[in-house]
Every structure is written in structure tokens, then in C-alpha cells.
Structure 1
Amino acid sequence: MSRDTLAPDDAAPRLADVVRIEPAADGDHWLVSVDGVPVSRASSTVAATLRAMDGRASLDELRRRFAPDQTPEEFAALAARFRRAGLLRGSERRTAGRVTYRPPLTIQFATLRAPRLFDRLHRLIRPLLRGWLAWPLAALIVAGLVALGAQAADVVAALTSPLPLVDVLVVAVVLVAATLLHEAAHGVTLAHGGGQPRRAGVMLLYLGPAFFVDVTDAWRLPSRASRVRVALAGPAVHAALAGAAALCALAVPDPDVRRALLVLSCACAVVVVINLVPFVRFDGYIAVMSALDEPNLRARTMADAADALRRGLFGGAPGPRALARWWSVPFGILSALVPIALVVAAIERTVHALAGTGPVGALIVLALPTAVVVAVGVGVVRWVVAGWSRGRGRTRFVLIGVAAVAAVVGAAAVIPVDDTRTLGFTSVGDRVELVVPASATDDAGLTADLPVDLTTSGILADAVVARGVARPAPARTITAPLTAFSPVEVPGLEVEARTIGTVDVPAATLPASGRAVVHLGSRSLLGAVWSTHVVDPASVLLTSFDPPTSDTKDPR
């Protein structure tokens, strides 16, 4: 038996005292639970194997009795999986309590009174939970999609324009309430089906705050369809709210209210789309896992993908598959990459939104990528150590690893990207000035005749309103609208800024302020990432401790 699959104390493994094995509701499987929480569904053979692990029977005796067709290495790998799952004595995991960390980027803060809370809530709204309820909800969602399509031009304008602070607060409060209802829908649907939500609370999920409800008990429900309903109950809340907001926007005459409703509708729609991505531990993944009746789908496919990658780097014979499906490895690869892509996309949007907002924005821009690099780096190091411990193909691994790193860094160093700087602009009459926060000390590399895109400062995206040519100008301190640096509009509020140039633009109708994207030329992808994510924010943060003195001030 290989040393990486069998721990010494597994010679005669013993089931942990907190593990229970009970028949599943469908009658075809067994539920394996830890402290009353289902962690896996098992076949009759696997359930019998676990029950026979009493600390007296050796691993080889168990193999000959329950899996004679498996090799000792394969059966040892199965025992190692039991140990990693915390099912064997000595490998028990601490029961999830009020504060729980789940790799790679999730921290949960829970109440342990969730069963009682959801029991009361279920009794309160049970008369409304009827099968026909799905039809009006579906009609509302479809009608909302049609309404959004009919208002496409207004939707684009709403998403690419600054949003008044009051509207931002209203939309934020409604989204928080919708997220709370989203999670409550999971718990109530589970309780209605006969299960019990065990934990609920708030969490930091991929760097963002969210609510959560532990619906692991859904594995006790009798059918796949009932488990899928539990998973999709939450997204249905956001989808229904998106539809209702879009329909209301169609009927409301006030343009400001209509804009806020359209932003709310689109925000809810984005929540639904992201929630249904099956490669992240969101509701879409739970629905797919439940529909396929494959517990721990993501972990098992990622284990298969990691094993395939290890064999490619280190060599060696393939290990036993955690999931006997042809798509296990590609699903596992996507399950590893998609969460990273989502986090990177969120960081890039944050970096873009916080560009030029001063020391606080610079600190956030530095902190977010650092947290992601550390979290991903820990996982990569663990994977490398696990592969290295096998003791096979180490020279091959070093050569392939060095070549891969060199190829990635080399490509990033030569791939050209557009070198841009994001500034603010103000427009008064026919004079357009480029501005930076008063705390900024550099001129953004501004030289004569550089092309400039003047854009809106949108809540979700920016729209180009004019193109022109930059001209350096003597610096002076002025006051500029907040929307020169932020997508949030506060009427009458202006912030201190410093002019660094002007823009020659053709005759055009421009907003009073917005963003200016200055095109400096091109540079390497590596240089761009290093500059925008490290050098620029670090420079802003450091110079904030020694701000420049103002020469002149021209209030507006």
C-alpha cells in the first residue's frame, strides 16, 4: 500500500464515534452523517464497509470481505478518503460552530438557533406554499424579461450613468433584504419538505458579504426533485424581484425612480446568473449535484482533476477515480478556475472603480489582490507538496514546472496591452479639464497630443461620450463634482481636486464631470498588472503621508 494513501493508524481503522449510518429516504442509498449532519450518500457496500471498521479488522481483511476486486492500493485510497472526510477515529473535524472558515475564501458567522427560527417561519407561511405558486412566479419572471428588453435603451443609460446617493442606498437596502429572503426561501423550502436547516447567519464569500443557510439536511429528502427545489428557491426570489422591478419601471413615469428600478432589476438578474453557475459552491452547483444525485460533486471532480495534473507533472499510475464520469476532470478543472475568474473579475472592476479615489481606494486595491494571491498560493503549495511526497518524477516535475512558470511570465512580459490612466474630468462651457484627487502627486505621465476617451462614471459600466486630445497645463487646485471620481452622485457636493491638463474635443454635449481614460501607448501585460495593482496604489498610499502643499485654489 502506498505511503500517501494509508496512514499508520489505518492498519485497523475504526469509525469515529460521531458518525452515524442510516438508510436514505429513497431506500437505495445510505446516509453517512457526522454529529447528525449528512456528509455523504453511500451504497450498501460502502455503508457495510464503514460499519465493519471497528478497530479490530485490518484494512486487508476489510478489502477481501467487501471489495475483493480492488487492489490494496485502491482500497487504501478509499480508506484515506474516509479519513479526509473525518469519518475515522483520529480524523474527526470540529463541528461547525458560530464562526467557521471554509477554504478558500469563506468565513461564516452563524446562529445555532436556526432550526427553531425556520420552524416558526414555516408554520407562519405554510398556507402559501402550494404547488401552483410556481406558475405565477414563472409568469412574473418571463414578463420581467420582456419588460427589460422593451426598455433596453433606458437600461443601458441607467447602468452607465452615476446614481444619486439616495438611490444607491435604496437599491442597497432592497438587495440586502432580497438576499435575506433568498436564504430564508432555502430554509423554508427545506423545512416544508421535511428537512431541518441547522445553521444560518452572515458570511464573507469571495471577499463579499452575504447571508447563508445550511441546507445540508436536504440529503434526507426523498427525491432529487425536492432537493433541486430547495437549491433553486433562493434564486427564484431574486428572479421574481427582478421581474417585478422591470415591470414597475415600465409603468412609472418619474425618470429617476425608473432608473433606480432598472438598476435594481439588473442587479437582481446578475445575482441570479452568478448563483446558477455550477462550478462554484452557489445554488446552481447544489441544484446540479442534487439532480445528478452525486454528493460532494465539486470536491470529487477537483480531486480527479488534481490527480490527472499530478500524473502529467510527476508521472506515475492513475489513482482510483473519485467520480466515475467521463466529464469529471474537465468539471473539476472548471470548478478550480471559475471561482478564481469570478474573484479576478470582481477585483478588476473594483480597481477600475477605485482608480483615482485617493488613499482609501488605494489601500483596498492593494489589499484585495494580496488576499487572493495568499489564498490561491496556499492551495497551490499544498497541491505541490502532496505531489512531491509521492517521490516519483521529481526531476520531471522541476523541469516542467520551471518551463511552465517561465512560459507564463515570458508571455506576460511580451504580450502588449493598451497603457491607460484613468483620471477625472470637468466640463464648463467649452473648457474640459483633466483632474486628479488633490492628494495625488503625479501627472499620470501626461504629455501633449495623447488621445483621451471621455466617459460617463457609471454605476456598473462607463459609456464613451467624446474623444479628444490631451494638453498638459499648469496644476491648480479646484473643487470638482464627486462624479469625476465616483459613480455615486451627491447634488451640491464637490471635492478638492487638482488640474493637470486640458482636453481638446469636438463640439459635443458633455456631462459636467466624468472619467477620462488617457491612452499613453502600450506596455506589457506584466507591467500593466504590476503598475495598476501594486505600484500606482502604493504610490498614492505612501504620498498620502506627505501631501503636497497647494499653490493656488480656484473654487467653483
Structure 2
Amino acid sequence: MSAVVLPGVRLLQPLDEGERWVVENPAGERFGVSPDVASILVYLQRVPDISAAGGRFGEDNVRNVVTMLSGCQVLRDDNAAPICASNKRRHEWGRLRVNSLFSIQVTILKNPSRIFAPFANFDFRKWMIAAAAALAIAFAGLIGIAADGASFVQDLAAPQSISSYFEMLLMMVFVISLHEYAHGAVLNSFGGQVSRIGVMLLYLAPACFCDVSDGWRLSSKKRMAVAAAGIISTFMLAGVCSLLRYLPGAPSFMASLVASLYVGAVINAIPTVKFDGYIALMAWREQPFLRSNAMRQWKIVVSDLLSGNLAEAFRNATRTAAYGVLCSLTPLVFVYSLFAVCDATLGSSGIGAIANALLLWLMLAMVIHGWVQIIRSSANSTDRVRGRLSTRAIVCSVVVFLVTLLFPVHVTSATSYASESNGTLTLLSPYGEELPIGETLIIQQQGLMGTRIVGTARVEGSTHAALVPAGIYSPAIAWPQMTDIEVRAQDAAVDAAEGATVPAFGRVVWDDGQSSLAEWLYRQLVLRPFKALAMTFQH
């Protein structure tokens, strides 16, 4: 029997003596292997004969290595099932690389080692001292927020000018760039090489990246330091910005910037998605493909349950499987969070309704894809078992879906408003939906990172055509004088307000009561986007 090493496979020596060798498969994924495994791989590159290799290294040893490496897309062996890596393929066109729907990269710099020269002489001890100082600054910033909590929350809900909004975006780009620079600086000081730096779309959100895959050649401790460098640097910069808030003349957007940096650092430390926290966990556990293996593990458990193999299901129900469930749920949580942000900022516009529907459809597609993978996990079973499993999976899916649709949900709706000089509010009604006269509304001031209740109002009158400033569509930004546009609207009278007047633009929120999940999904997935499209074509 033969085991052919796939084209593009690379074997890299460790940078630290006595550490694991590094294998890179054709998809660009790297993982560590022991020196014994590296020796067998080198032999198979020269002589792709399993029997000959078995005579030299031991038949059982060679078979185990071949099974593992074929599953990791390093060898081609028809008798080995994939047990390590996913079957994903990346696609490259020049500087564009598409790893998956949720990871699209554009390379800006290749082999940028020179920019890390100022930190080339840092050793592990110096980096630990720097990390301690950075965390102290981050903690000082949190103390400042706690001491001035009320003012901080109020600033989060303050609308920002368009110039402040773009200044904040530039600051975010600067911080993200320093975050990636920290990864590269630590890797470079340990003797590794950064192959690429660029920008990317990660889970549909813009981000930067620094390819530190050469870190696999380092010891576990140093790999953890490379991964943690980005998290710690972001925490530190959040602390610096928090302290700068108290300087005279500090920009008005500093509170929103600080909140986004602290939240971003926490999210980046989550170990259930391919962020820095996951890289650190994988380095600590010394397990390549930890996430993909864990997600496959819990799907095998469900597959065993559906096929009636309870003993095997309980045997596979390990902590790794539980971790895999969290890994599978986290992208859904991220997409739903993006839906919530989109709903809060653009939900009252036609574009927002369409974007919300697309995000919910994406979540539904992700769930269906998960069930398909569960059925495919029985690929090594007999046709009869696969058929029984497929039938049970479909039946269970339908039952769970129908029962879930009956769940009651508490619905809270919102739309944006423009305040008139006579004290009334003009409410945006993009879907043609009419609120009942007398409905109580909560008036909110909308900021980039939060809202603040400023009063209450009551609906007066039916839906009608009205001319309002275009800034009604984005109340979080304090727009200058803008051209009026014609919209479908309702009027509301202000009952009570904290100040003499309410903000020029903002949101109103009302309670829609209880609804079934099916009704809510129909409204979000079908009714509102189609109404928005219909009204767009009418105009």
C-alpha cells in the first residue's frame, strides 16, 4: 500500500530545540508533530510505501501516523477517514484569499519583518514585564470608568457629529493596526517570520490580520505569548483612551471608543472562535485543529443518538464535545448580535429591514448546514444505518422546528423620529405599519454605543406623507442641516421629557406584547423586507 504526500506540503524545523516540528498542508494550515512523526513523513516523501516504512519504524506506528496525516490533508490514503482537519479549501487570486464565507483576506504587505526591528532584541522576560504594565494601564482605565459611571453612560448615548464619527473610525483602524503589530513584534523577537499583513472580512465585519502561522515552530509558552499580545495590547489601548477622556478638550467620542475597545478585547479573548483566545488555548493544549475536531465530536454524539447507538454516544460525550457545541453556537450568536445592532441602528429604514432579513436567513442556513453535517458524520456506517439516521434526523429536525415556532416571545419594536418645533414628533413608518392612536412610546436618545431614555410620548393621528430631514434614518449622528425627504409617518405628542426639549433625532420604543416565534420570524424574514422593497419601487 502507498501513502502519497500531497503537493504543497511543507515540513518546518522548530525554532526552539526539543520542540515539535511543524507540518503545513496544501490549505496553509499548520500544526505541530513530534520528531518521530516528522521522521516518518520525511521517509514517505522519498518512499511512498507504507510496508517499507513499517519495516523501519514499526507497522503500527506508521499506520497511526498515516491515518492522522491523511485526515489532516497531508497524505493521500484511501483507507483513512478524516479525523483531524476540515475538508475546506482556500481560494487565492493574487493578494485576495478566500478561506470561507466568514474569512476573506486581502494582503497588503508580504514578509514585513523590517517594521518589527525596534523589538527584535526583546526576550520572553521583557515581554512579560511589558504585558504586566499594559494590564495595569487597562485596569486603571476600568477604575476610571467605575468612578465616573453615570457620565460615561451618558456620553455613550450622545449623538456624534459626522466628523467625530469618522475620527473615531480612524482611531479604531489605528488601534487594530497596533493590535496586529503586537502579534508580529512578539513573533519576530522570538525568531519567527510574519508572512503577510492585510485587511479582511471576519464574520462579515471588517478587521485586520497578521499571519503568525510561523509561530507553530515555537514552544507552547511562546505561542501563547504571540496570541495574547494582541488581546493585551487592545486592553492597554482601551485603558489609555479611558484615561485620556479626563483631559481638557478630549474628543466627544472617547467614551464610545473606550467601550468598543474593551468589548472588542473581551470578544477577541473568546476561545470558541478563531480569534486570539482560541490560538492561545490551542497552544496551551498542544492540539492542532482543536475547534474543528471538537465540533465534529458533538455531531458524532448526536449522530449516535439518532442511530440508537447510546453506548457510543455516551462514550463520545466528552468535554471536547461540549466545547464543540459552544464553538458551533458562537458564530450564530455573533450573527444575531450583528442583527441586533443593525435592527437598533437601521431597523426603521427599508435598508435595515432587508439587511435584518438577510442576517436571519444566514442564521437559518447555518443551522441547516449543521444538521447536514450531522447526517454526513455517519459516512462510515452501513447504508441501512445511514438511511435510518437520515430519516430520524429529518423527523427530529421537523419536530424541533415546529415546536420552536410555537415558543412565545416578547416583542419590543422601535423606529426613529424627527422632533418638530411645536413639540410633536414625526415617527418614521417605512413598512406602512400603523400604530394605534394613544400608544405609549418611550423616547430614547441614540448614541454610537448606547441609548438613554429622555421622555415619553403618545401616538396621535394615522399614517400620512410627511417631509422630514434625511438625518432621521441615522439618529446616532448629529447631522448638519439636511435636505428634506418625503416618508410615510405618524405624529406623536410628547408627554414628558427630562429637559425642555427632546433631541432633534432619536428613537421611540414601544411594547408589542407577546407573539409566537413563527409570527415574529414571518414579520422579519418576509413581511417587512417585501414591504420595504415594494415601497422603494413605488418611489
Q: Report the TM-score range of the alignment, normalised by the length of the smaller protein.
A: 0.7 to 0.9
- Asked whether 1:251 is paired with 2:241, we answer no
1:22–1:200 distance in 2 versus 1, CA, 3 Å: closer
Aligned letter for 1:463? R
Q: CA deviation at 1:44?
A: 4.5
Name the structure 2 match of 1:181: 178
Asked if 2 retains the 8 angstrom alpha-carbon contact of 1:239 and 1:268, the reply is: yes
Q: Distance in 1 between matches of 2:426 and 2:521?
A: 24
Q: Distance in 2 between matches of 1:363 and 1:481?
A: 19
Asked if 2 retains the 8 angstrom alpha-carbon contact of 1:417 and 1:524, the reply is: yes
SS of corresponding position for 2:468: strand
Q: CA deviation at 1:338?
A: 1.0
Name the structure 1 match of 2:84: none
Deviates more, 1:423-432 or 1:161-170: 423-432
Name the structure 1 match of 2:424: 432
Asked if 2 retains the 8 angstrom alpha-carbon contact of 1:450 and 1:520, the reply is: no
Deviates more, 1:262-271 or 1:306-315: 306-315
Name the structure 2 match of 1:82: 69
Aligned letter for 1:493? M
- For residues 75-96 of structure 1, the C-alpha deviation after alignment (integer angstroms, 9 at most, x for no partner) is 68x7455234221148997786
Q: Distance in 2 between matches of 1:421 and 1:172?
A: 29
- Asked whether 1:449 is paired with 2:438, we answer yes
Asked if 2 retains the 8 angstrom alpha-carbon contact of 1:13 and 1:58, the reply is: no
- Asked whether 1:123 is paired with 2:117, we answer yes
What are the ranges of 5 or more consecutive residues in structure 2 without an aligned counterpart?
Answer: 79-86
- For residues 227-264 of structure 1, the C-alpha deviation after alignment (integer angstroms, 9 at most, x for no partner) is 11111111222222211111111233x4xx45311111
Q: Distance in 2 between matches of 1:193 and 1:306?
A: 38
1:363–1:244 distance in 2 versus 1, CA, 3 Å: same
Q: CA deviation at 1:64?
A: 10
Q: CA deviation at 1:39?
A: 1.7
SS of corresponding position for 1:259: coil
Asked if 2 retains the 8 angstrom alpha-carbon contact of 1:425 and 1:516, the reply is: yes
Name the structure 1 match of 2:22: 31
1:446–1:94 distance in 2 versus 1, CA, 3 Å: closer
Name the structure 2 match of 1:192: 189
Counterpart selection for 2:233 from 230, 237, 240: 237
Q: CA deviation at 1:395?
A: 2.5
Output aligned runs, 1:24-423, within 5 Å.
Answer: 24=14, 25-27=16-18, 29-34=20-25, 39-51=30-42, 53=44, 54-57=47-50, 65-67=58-60, 79=66, 81-89=68-76, 98-111=95-108, 114-115=110-111, 117=112, 119-126=113-120, 130-131=126-127, 132-221=129-218, 223-252=219-248, 254=249, 257-316=250-309, 318=312, 326-358=318-350, 360-374=351-365, 377-378=368-369, 380-387=371-378, 390=381, 391=383, 392=385, 394-412=387-405, 414-423=406-415
Asked if 1 retains the 8 angstrom alpha-carbon contact of 2:434 and 2:462, the reply is: no
Name the structure 1 match of 2:489: 499
1:260–1:59 distance in 2 versus 1, CA, 3 Å: farther
1:125–1:385 distance in 2 versus 1, CA, 3 Å: closer
Name the structure 2 match of 1:6: none
1:192–1:534 distance in 2 versus 1, CA, 3 Å: farther
- For residues 464-514 of structure 1, the C-alpha deviation after alignment (integer angstroms, 9 at most, x for no partner) is 322343233462413247256431111323642443132452465332331
Q: Distance in 2 between matches of 1:172 and 1:534?
A: 33
Aligned letter for 1:86? Q
Q: Distance in 2 between matches of 1:99 and 1:270?
A: 29
Q: Distance in 1 between matches of 2:256 and 2:439?
A: 34
Asked if 2 retains the 8 angstrom alpha-carbon contact of 1:434 and 1:502, the reply is: yes
Aligned letter for 2:352? G
SS of corresponding position for 1:32: strand
TM (norm. structure 1) is 0.82
- Asked whether 1:536 is paired with 2:528, we answer yes
Q: Distance in 2 between matches of 1:62 and 1:146?
A: 65
- Asked whether 1:19 is paired with 2:9, we answer yes
What are the ranges of 5 or more consecutive residues in structure 1 without an aligned counterpart?
Answer: 1-10, 548-556
SS of corresponding position for 2:451: coil
Q: Distance in 2 between matches of 1:493 and 1:81?
A: 63
1:395–1:476 distance in 2 versus 1, CA, 3 Å: same
Asked if 2 retains the 8 angstrom alpha-carbon contact of 1:151 and 1:250, the reply is: no
Identity in percent: 25
Q: How many equivalent residue pairs?
A: 517
1:51–1:127 distance in 2 versus 1, CA, 3 Å: closer
